[in-house]
Chains A and B, each alone.
Chain A
Amino acid sequence: SQQGEEDPQALSIQEGENATMNCSYKTSINNLQWYRQNSGRGLVHLILIRSNEREKHSGRLRVTLDTSKKSSSLLITASRAADTASYFCATGPALLQGAQKLVFGQGTRLTINP
């Protein structure tokens, strides 16, 4: 079963608003990553946060990680039409677990309305 579960499955907001997506996971992790996928294309890496980090920023992106709750959130501030895409979280297993595999959630479909 998928390790990461995103919430909500779909999100529609107005341009300029902030978008928040959440990810929950089940087992210990080494890191958690967020990826974006435009329709019909490959995934693009956005940001990586390690298990000993609590918050990370990259431009308009802010990621938080709460290992005690096994959850992460991705905040996109001042959304733009070009942010319309699907967003996936992916977890990298802690040492000695798994076989170097990232496990992806099913994604949140974000739509930014002009």
Chain B
Amino acid sequence: DVKVTQSSRYLVKRTGEKVFLECVQDMDHENMFWYRQDPGLGLRLIYFSYDVKMKEKGDIPEGYSVSREKKERFSLILESASTNQTSMYLCASRSGLAGGTYSTDTQYFGPGTRLTVL
């Protein structure tokens, strides 16, 4: 079974802090994703990566950056946390050719990190 793990289930940070959210997958997937989920807004894609050291902006990248130094790990960074970044953050991974056109198959999600910024 595919396993996607996230470093924390719950996290509380203060405004202005630098926050790291870590995601690790164990299935050698090329593609990894970060979403945030808010009531009434559904899941929104922040960033995704289709290969090591490659990244692409999703729909709401402002205020976030990412890092993919190893294939199994995809980190989401909040450079200076703000209260409007309080949310549930979900990481996902997916197999498929890096950048391939048939790579929109099943995504496997981690358990989520509920981040509160005070």
Interface positions of A (Cβ within 8 A of B): 2, 30-31, 33, 35, 40-45, 48, 88, 90, 92-93, 95-96, 99-102, 104-107
Contact of B40 among A43, A95, A106 (CB under 8 A): A106
Contact of A48 among B35, B40, B92, B106 (CB under 8 A): B106
- Give Cα A101–Cα B50 distance, bound, in whole angstroms: 11
Q: Indicate the size class of the contact surface on chain B.
A: 20 to 34
The interface residues of chain B lying within 8 Å CB-to-CB of A43 are: 43, 90, 92, 107, 109
- Give Cα A92–Cα B107 distance, bound, in whole angstroms: 11
Instruction: Indicate the member of B43, B96, B101 with the most A CB atoms within 10 Å.
Output: B43
The interface residues of chain A lying within 8 Å CB-to-CB of B96 are: 100
* Interface contact B107-A30, CB-CB below 8 Å: no
The interface residues of chain A lying within 8 Å CB-to-CB of B62 are: none
CB distance from B89 to the nearest CB of A (A): 10
CB distance from B51 to the nearest CB of A (A): 12
* Interface contact A88-B109, CB-CB below 8 Å: no
Interface positions of B (Cβ within 8 A of A): 4, 31, 35, 40-43, 45, 48, 50, 56, 58, 88, 90, 92, 96, 99-112, 114
In the complex formed, the residue of A with least CB distance to B114 is A40
- Give Cα A48–Cα B101 distance, bound, in whole angstroms: 17
Q: Other CB < 8 Å A-B pairs besides A100-B100, A100-B104, 19 of them?
A: A31-B104, A33-B107, A40-B88, A40-B112, A42-B90, A42-B109, A42-B111, A48-B105, A88-B43, A90-B107, A96-B101, A100-B31, A100-B50, A100-B101, A100-B103, A101-B48, A101-B104, A104-B35, A104-B42
5 smallest A-B Cβ distances: which pairs?
A: A92-B104, A42-B109, A106-B42, A104-B43, A43-B109
Contact of B104 among A44, A93, A106 (CB under 8 A): A93
* Interface contact B40-A31, CB-CB below 8 Å: no
**Given A33-B106, A40-B112, A48-B106, A101 and B45 contact (CB-CB distance below 8 Å):** yes
